[in-house]
């Protein structure tokens, strides 16, 4: 048998194939070309993914899509005070904020209006990129910023095929921000109101009693009387869904303002407020369950102090569990609305909650009980509920069928959209009660001032 030779491309070892000389040269050339392909390093890829995962809308995308987008990002360093985009200019790039803080301003004669202050995890330029509009506002770096740019071509290359729904969500967010910035620039200032707001806490000690639904529709009822002056602060942790139930896409929240310096806290906090087309304003407490731990009693106190200077009513949707943050909020409220369903366990929990609130020093006339009927024939009658609570029910909401659930699916607020809804009628009665109680104080104060003024 003839021994194998190397001319046919086999190596010296027995039964070990190697490339022939000509083939090896071409392989070396291909290997030399591979480093020319730009791929981010491992730690850089992790950083890019972290930025995308914290950005609104993008955090809902599959990991494979996020990785494809992350490979197409380009990093830009912007010195403090430099412009990122100019109002009126065309644009095709979304800028994700990796580090630093950016101020969004709208030039409106006779000056400029700050409509948002964005921090790490947010992005700018989405309107020009996905809506193909000119830049609505100018954006400049309030501190030294590191941005990650994603151009329109790269965005469409990844999302333009099977992920059209994500593109639609991004366009909806861009439209929402466009309307929000336009409305804010018309107002020309955040602190237009002279009187401090009344803080109303809505507390449901038993889950499933409809506390969030009552909060949302109470804000809608009050906003019909005071458009743009009523805020819903959603502290129903761990899942704060008021903004989503109202058909809004939250982009920031109270939890993410905790690390903001004091001199920029007010602007960052107010820029996180969402504006609903039907009048209410909504401030999410947290976008993710783990962010609920960042909402401390100190942060709530700071936030309420700022918000009371800006709005007439602040309705706070509280969670079931009484935590340190809940106790801090109870100390800051001027009125508490207790929501209970006519069910044995819910009424028992409500009775225990009333006892706790009484021990905390809540005045009897500043505690309102709302009985929310969740079925056609409630298991416990209203007289029985009042006997168990040892006090009267102030407002009763009749069974409203599937309207509340359908409104949540449609992203509308019943009290602002359906005047015949039982939920609307109940929340309008509750709004009238609150207005009568706290409006009376304002009228007495005005009368007292007038009595001391010389004729």
Q: How far is CA 101 from the centre of its chain?
A: 18
pLDDT at 184 over 80: no
pLDDT-derived band at 205 (thresholds 50, 70, 90) equals: very high
pLDDT at 14 over 90: no
pLDDT-derived band at 228 (thresholds 50, 70, 90) equals: confident
| Number of Cβ atoms within 10 Å of the Cβ of 453 | 6
Model confidence pLDDT, tens digit, residues 118-141: 889 899 999 999 999 899 999 989
| Highest mean pLDDT, choosing among 279-283, 319-323, 385-389, 444-448 | 385-389
pLDDT value, residue 449:
41
Return the half-sphere exposure (C-beta side, CA atoms, 13 A cut-off) of residue 399. 9
Of the listed ranges 1-5, 60-64, 130-134, the least confidently predicted one is: 1-5
pLDDT-derived band at 38 (thresholds 50, 70, 90) equals: low
pLDDT-derived band at 27 (thresholds 50, 70, 90) equals: very low
pLDDT value, residue 36:
42
pLDDT value, residue 250:
87
Q: What's the whole-number mean pLDDT along residues 77-82?
A: 91
Model confidence pLDDT, tens digit, residues 382-407: 999 999 999 999 999 999 999 999 99
Find the DSSP H helices in 361-453. Answer: 382-389, 403-410, 414-417, 422-452
Domain-by-domain residue ranges, the chain?
42-180, 198-452
pLDDT at 358 over 70: yes
Beta-bridged to residue 281, according to DSSP, are 231, 275
Return the half-sphere exposure (C-beta side, CA atoms, 13 A cut-off) of residue 280. 30
Rounded Cα distance, 377 and 397, in Å: 13
Model confidence pLDDT, tens digit, residues 259-276: 898 888 998 999 899 988
pLDDT at 455 over 60: no
Of the listed ranges 84-98, 101-115, 423-437, the least confidently predicted one is: 101-115
pLDDT-derived band at 185 (thresholds 50, 70, 90) equals: low
Torsion of CA 445, 447, 452, 455, to 10 degrees: 150
In three-state secondary structure terms, 236 is: coil
Q: Which fold has domain 198-452?
A: Rossmann fold (3.40.50)
Q: What percent of the chain has pLDDT over 90?
A: 47
Q: What's the whole-number mean pLDDT along residues 159-179?
A: 87
What are 369's two structure tokens? 């009980």
For all residues of the chain together, what is the average pLDDT?
83
Count Cβ atoms within 10 A of the Cβ of residue 258 and give its class: 0-12 exposed, 13-18 middle, 19 or more buried.
middle
Q: Are 73 and 96 in contact (CB under 8 A)?
A: yes
**What would the DSSP string read from start to end of 293-346?**
GG--HHHHHHHHHHHTTT-SEEEEEE-SS--HHHHHHHHH-SEEEEEE-SSHHH
Rounded Cα distance, 332 and 234, in Å: 15
Torsion of CA 345, 205, 341, 202, to 10 degrees: 170
What φ, ψ does residue 64 adopt, rounded to 5°? -65, -40
pLDDT at 80 over 90: no
Q: Which fold has domain 42-180?
A: Jelly Rolls (2.60.120)
pLDDT value, residue 32:
45
Q: Which of 176, 246, 277, 249 is nearest to 413 (CA)?
A: 246
What are 225's two structure tokens? 């009387």
Model confidence pLDDT, tens digit, residues 285-296: 999 889 999 999
């Amino acid at each position: 048998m003839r021994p194998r030779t190397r001319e046919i491309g086999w190596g010296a070892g027995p039964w070990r194939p190697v490339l022939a000389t000509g083939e090896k040269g071409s392989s070396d050339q291909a290997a030399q070309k591979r480093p020319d392909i730009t791929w981010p390093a491992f730690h850089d890829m992790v950083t890019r993914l972290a930025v995308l995962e914290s950005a609104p809308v993008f955090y809902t995308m599959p990991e494979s899509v996020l990785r494809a987008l992350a490979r197409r990002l380009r990093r830009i360093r912007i010195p403090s005070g430099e412009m990122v985009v100019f109002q009126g200019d065309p644009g095709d790039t979304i800028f994700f904020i990796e580090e630093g803080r950016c101020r969004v301003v709208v030039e409106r004669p006779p000056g400029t209006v700050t409509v948002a202050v964005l921090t790490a995890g947010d992005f700018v330029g989405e309107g020009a990129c996905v809506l193909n509009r000119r830049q609505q506002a100018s954006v400049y770096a309030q501190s030294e910023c590191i941005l990650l740019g994603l151009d329109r071509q790269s965005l469409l290359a990844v999302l333009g095929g099977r992920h059209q729904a994500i593109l639609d969500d991004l366009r909806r967010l861009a439209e929402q921000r466009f309307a929000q910035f336009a409305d804010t620039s018309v107002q020309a200032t955040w602190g237009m109101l002279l009187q401090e707001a009344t803080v109303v806490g809505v507390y449901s000690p038993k889950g499933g009693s409809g506390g969030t639904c009552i909060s949302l529709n109470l804000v809608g009822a009050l906003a019909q009387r005071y458009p743009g002056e009523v805020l819903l602060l959603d502290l129903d942790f761990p899942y704060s869904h008021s903004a989503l139930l109202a058909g809004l896409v939250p982009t920031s929240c109270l939890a993410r303002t905790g690390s903001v310096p004091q001199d920029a806290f007010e602007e960052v906090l107010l820029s996180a407020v969402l504006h609903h087309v039907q009048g209410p304003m909504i401030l999410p407490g947290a976008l993710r369950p783990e962010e609920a731990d960042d909402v401390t009693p100190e942060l709530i106190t700071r936030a309420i102090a700022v918000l009371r200077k800006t709005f007439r009513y602040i309705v706070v949707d509280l969670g079931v569990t009484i935590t340190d943050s809940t106790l801090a909020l109870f100390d800051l409220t001027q009125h508490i609305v207790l929501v209970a369903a006519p069910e044995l366990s819910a009424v028992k929990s409500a009775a225990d909650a009333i006892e706790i609130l009484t021990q905390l020093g809540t005045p009897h006339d500043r505690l309102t009980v709302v009985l929310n009927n969740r079925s056609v024939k409630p298991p416990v009658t209203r007289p029985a509920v009042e006997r168990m609570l040892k006090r009267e029910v102030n407002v009763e909401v009749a069974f409203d069928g599937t309207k509340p659930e359908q409104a949540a699916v449609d992203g509308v607020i019943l009290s602002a959209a359906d005047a015949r809804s039982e939920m609307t009628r109940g929340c309008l009665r509750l709004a009238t009660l609150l207005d009568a109680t706290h409006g009376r104080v304002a009228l007495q104060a005005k009368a007292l001032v007038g009595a001391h003024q010389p004729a």
